[in-house]
């Protein structure tokens, strides 16, 4: 049980101020579960918990009720409505059998005006209360966003896994049919292998996306031209499956850059895959290269419809897709992570008469 003079807010009051405080203070009792005041009622008094515990709660929307805080012995509640002279913004309920010190609004304001120490203490208390509320609100926002992100992730992965698993299941049934021809059997076997590779790629995307911050320890200097020229046949084969063509107006420059071939390979494949996805009737993809004193710039341009304005500002965020019936929405965020792990940057733009243009930079080997 907390005495009036042991409440932190009143500890710096002098004897005269304490005597004035005792004269205006009343004591009230509330049984567990009973309301002390209700949201929307006039803020006609301020309370301090003498013994017991009080819950402060309210509606954050028309049908969502939330607990904001719990108040224990020696703590103040109901002060904001008193100071602002506005209706209560929350409901106070006794969690246990509770005793409170009750001070009417006019008497409390009069005492505050006469006591600088009390005014300063109350200002500190309100500041502390607002800081606690902001931290609680921030934690709840982060938790809600995290749960939302997990939900979008799970929904995306489940959707993407259903298609290849269905194809594998149907192909496996066909493969086991006794009267199937060798040619059809080979095709179904190839189809199963392709879908397994597709699932493997999805898993790789997820693992890359969830990797922690990488250092440049695994980056080894190598010839960028040789890397790209070795990669081009695979990229062209993938594009041709969807009726698209890759053109390279000029050969890639023979420069030395520090990179991880496996991961950089992923950037090219993801960007080419995205380009072929948006060019429904085939099209062309152009690879261009520019070299400065410190970096090489690689541009990948398609003849598709360009970047939709509604996603232009969040293109590299995870799970963002537009106009696609499949895909985890991780492709571009993975590209961003890989490029940044290499010390580079990635961006996208649309220009009149062109499709989407993705551009990423990679630093050249520093000359000693």
User: What is the rounded average pLDDT for all residues in the chain?
Assistant: 80
Highest averaged pLDDT of the listed ranges 36-50, 56-70, 156-170, 185-199? 36-50
| Helix (H), strand (E), coil (C) string for 275-323 | HHHHCECEEEEEEEEEECCCEEEEEEEECCCCCCHHHHHHCCCCCCCCC
Is the model's pLDDT at 326 over the cut of 60? no
Range in 68-72, 148-152, 215-219, 289-293 with the lowest mean pLDDT: 148-152
- Residue 224 pLDDT grade (very low, low, confident, very high; cuts 50, 70, 90): very high
pLDDT value at 353 more than 60: yes
For residues 350 and 343, the answer to whether their CB atoms sit within 8 Å is: no
For the cut 80, the answer to whether the pLDDT of residue 154 exceeds it is: no
Q: Assess whether pLDDT exceeds 80 at residue 248.
A: yes
Q: What is the arithmetic mean of pLDDT over 307-335?
A: 67
| C-alpha 243: how far from chain center | 36
Q: Which domains does the chain have, with CATH numbers?
A: 4-114 (2.60.120.10), 141-210 (1.10.287), 216-363 (3.30.565.10)
More confident residue, 320 or 33: 33
- Check residues 152 and 218 and name the one with the higher pLDDT: 218
Closest CA to 328 of 155, 192, 144, 212: 155
- Identify the residue with better confidence: 248 or 265: 248
pLDDT, mean of residues 179-188? 83
| Per-residue pLDDT tens over the stretch 46-71 | 899 999 999 988 876 667 777 888 88
pLDDT at 97 over 80: yes
φ, ψ (nearest 5 deg) of residue 12: -95, 5
Tell me which H or E stretch contains 76. Answer: strand 76-77
Whether the CB-CB separation of 279 and 245 falls below 8 Å is answered with: no
Cβ count within 10 A of residue 204 = 13
- Judge contact between 82 and 45, C-beta under 8 A: yes
**CA 113, 119, 125, 130 torsion-angle sign:** positive
**Residue 160 CB contacts under 8 Å (≥ 6 apart), including other chains:** 202, 326, 327, 328
Q: What pLDDT score does 21 carry?
A: 86
Has residue 221 got a pLDDT over 70?
Answer: yes
């Amino acid at each position: 049980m907390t005495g009036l003079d042991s409440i932190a807010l009143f500890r710096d009051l002098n004897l005269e101020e304490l005597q004035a405080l005792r004269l205006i203070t009343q004591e009230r009792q509330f049984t567990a579960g009973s309301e002390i005041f209700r949201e929307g009622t006039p803020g006609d008094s301020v309370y301090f918990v003498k013994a017991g515990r009080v819950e402060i709660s309210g509606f954050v929307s028309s049908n969502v009720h939330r607990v904001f805080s719990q108040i224990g012995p020696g703590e103040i509640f109901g002060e904001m409505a008193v100071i602002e002279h506005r209706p209560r913004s929350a409901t106070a309920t006794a969690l246990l059998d509770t005793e409170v010190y009750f001070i009417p609004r006019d008497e409390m304001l009069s005492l505050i005006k006469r006591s600088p120490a009390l005014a300063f203490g109350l200002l500190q208390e309100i500041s502390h209360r607002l800081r606690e509320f902001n931290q609680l609100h921030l934690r709840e926002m982060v938790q809600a966003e995290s749960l939302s992100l997990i939900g979008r992730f799970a929904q995306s992965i489940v959707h993407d896994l259903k298609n290849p698993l269905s194809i594998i299941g149907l192909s496996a049934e066909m493969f086991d049919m006794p009267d199937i021809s060798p040619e059809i059997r080979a095709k179904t076997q190839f189809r199963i292998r392709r879908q397994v590779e597709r699932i493997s790629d999805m898993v790789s995307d997820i693992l890359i996306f969830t990797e922690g911050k990488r250092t440049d320890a695994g980056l080894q200097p190598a010839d960028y031209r040789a890397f790209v020229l070795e990669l081009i046949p695979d990229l062209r084969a993938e594009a041709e499956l969807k009726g698209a063509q890759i053109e390279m107006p000029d050969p890639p420059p023979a420069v030395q850059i520090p990179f991880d071939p496996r991961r950089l390979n992923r950037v090219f494949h993801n960007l080419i895959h995205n380009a072929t996805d948006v060019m429904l009737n085939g099209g062309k993809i152009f690879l261009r290269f520019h070299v400065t004193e410190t970096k090489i710039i690689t541009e990948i341009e398609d003849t598709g419809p360009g970047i939709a304005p509604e996603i232009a500002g969040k293109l590299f965020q995870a799970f963002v897709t537009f106009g696609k019936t499949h895909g985890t929405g991780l492709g571009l965020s993975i590209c961003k992570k890989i490029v940044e792990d290499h010390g580079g940057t990635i961006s996208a733009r649309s220009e009149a008469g062109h499709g989407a243009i993705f551009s990423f930079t990679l630093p050249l080997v520093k000359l000693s």
